[in-house]
Amino acid sequence: MKPHAAATHSPGRTGVAGGLALPDDGGPVAEGREFVWSNADFNRIKALIYQKAGISLHDGKHAMVYSRVSRRLRETGHNSFRDYLDVLERSDGPEWQEFINALTTNLTSFFREQHHFDILAQLLASRRQQPWRIWCAAASTGEEPYSIAITAAEALGMGGQFQVVCSDIDTKVLATAAKGIYRLDGVKGLSQERLQRFFMRGRGANEGLFRVKPDLQKHVEFRVINLIEELPLRDAFDVVFCRNVMIYFDGPTQRQVLERIHRVMKPGGMLFVGHAENFSDARLLFSLRGKTVYERL
Ligand SMILES: C[S@@+](CC[C@H](N)C(=O)[O-])C[C@H]1O[C@@H](n2cnc3c(N)ncnc32)[C@H](O)[C@@H]1O
């Protein structure tokens, strides 16, 4: 990895404070920024992340995209977005994954949208004797799949037959999920009882850190899965959580992702989606059973 390039004096960078105008030709008009930034750069990044991850970026995302991808320029030692993108497009190497990781939004928390976990608990308790296969797609840093595993352990017992596949396109957040270590502010919404039963508390240098206990973690497996590609999943799932990711996809992409999810679910299986996601036009695939909960037909 090349060292961090120095700030304002390299060709192709701007160091002048001032307004922001965005030419299509990539000219050096985006003043006050470390790197020249143009509509052409934005549109190129927009097309590439759409192609690779299905993420649709609207024009209000200029500042976010600039800030996130400029970190990649620094890491790789490029002086301009144009150079960085030229090299990226000519390669099929690991920078593609870094590019994707830089552009995903990974906000999550334990027991986010609590009502889903209440429904899940009832569902699991209704069929204690059979194995449960649950897929948590777009799982980010792991709070969601561990919340699912905690719910299952409470309903079925720690030795119950349940397996949670935890996946994301972003390798960095998935590595965090696989570690299963969270800071105090991340677990503060969990009850003392849950913290004691499912986490080990760090001591000494690890004070303030909480690690998921191995007997819970063994129910969770981690996979890099891109929802816009054919799914590398064989067994049919009883439950799928695919929450707060479809909002980044356009209508046709959402439809394709729903069709893929449908193919890996058992008939009668339950699909949980995010609070802002509505798939009423996929009536032939899924039927609404509650607030943002669908049954696979
Ligand atoms: C806002 S987070 C949602 C996390 C969690 N599902 C929740 O609701 O708390 C969105 C996640 O979707 C992932 N993502 C974005 N595009 C994806 C794709 N094409 N395939 C799989 N995951 C994707 C991102 O990496 C990110 O971790």
Say if residues 58 and 70 touch (Cβ distance below 8 Å). no
When divided into structural domains, the chain yields a total of: 2
- Residue among 185, 114, 180, 112 at smallest CA distance from 142: 180
Please indicate, yes or no, whether residues 230 and 171 belong to a single structural domain of this protein. Answer: yes
Cβ atoms 108, 137 nearer than 8 A: no
Kindly report which listed range (12-21, 100-109, 223-232, 238-247) carries the lowest average pLDDT score.
12-21
> Which CATH number do you get for residue 276?
3.40.50.150
pTM (predicted TM-score): 0.91
Of all protein residues, the one whose alpha carbon is nearest to atom 24 of ligand 1 is 104
First to last CA, the chain: 49
pLDDT the model gives residue 184: 97
Encode pLDDT of 98-111 as tens digits.
Answer: 999 999 999 999 99
Whole-angstrom distance, CA of residue 29 vs CA of residue 19: 9
Q: Which of 245, 260, 277 maximizes ligand 1 atoms within 8 Å of its Cβ, making it the mutation to test the pocket?
A: 245
Do 165 and 220 lie in one domain? The reply is: yes
Q: Do 138 and 20 reside in the same domain of the chain? A: no
Tell me the pLDDT tens digit for each residue of 8-32: 333 344 433 223 445 554 444 456 7
Residue 4 is classified by DSSP as: P
Which structural domain range is residue 43 located in? 1-103
What is the CB-side half-sphere exposure of residue 106 using CA atoms within 13 A? 21
111-133 pLDDT, tens digit each: 999 999 999 999 999 999 899 99
Q: Quickly state the pLDDT bin for 216 (edges 50, 70, 90).
A: very high
Residue 71 designated active-site? no
Q: Are residues 171 and 226 in the same domain?
A: yes
- Please say if 170 is a catalytic residue: no
Query: For 155-202, how does the pLDDT look when each residue is reduced to its tens digit (9 = 90+)?
Result: 999 999 999 999 999 999 999 999 999 999 999 889 999 999 999 999
Q: Residue 77's domain is classified under what CATH number?
A: 1.10.155.10
Degrees to nearest 5, angle at CA 248 with 281 and 241: 70
Distance CA 97, CA 115 (A): 34
Q: How remote is the C-alpha of 13 from its chain's centroid? A: 32
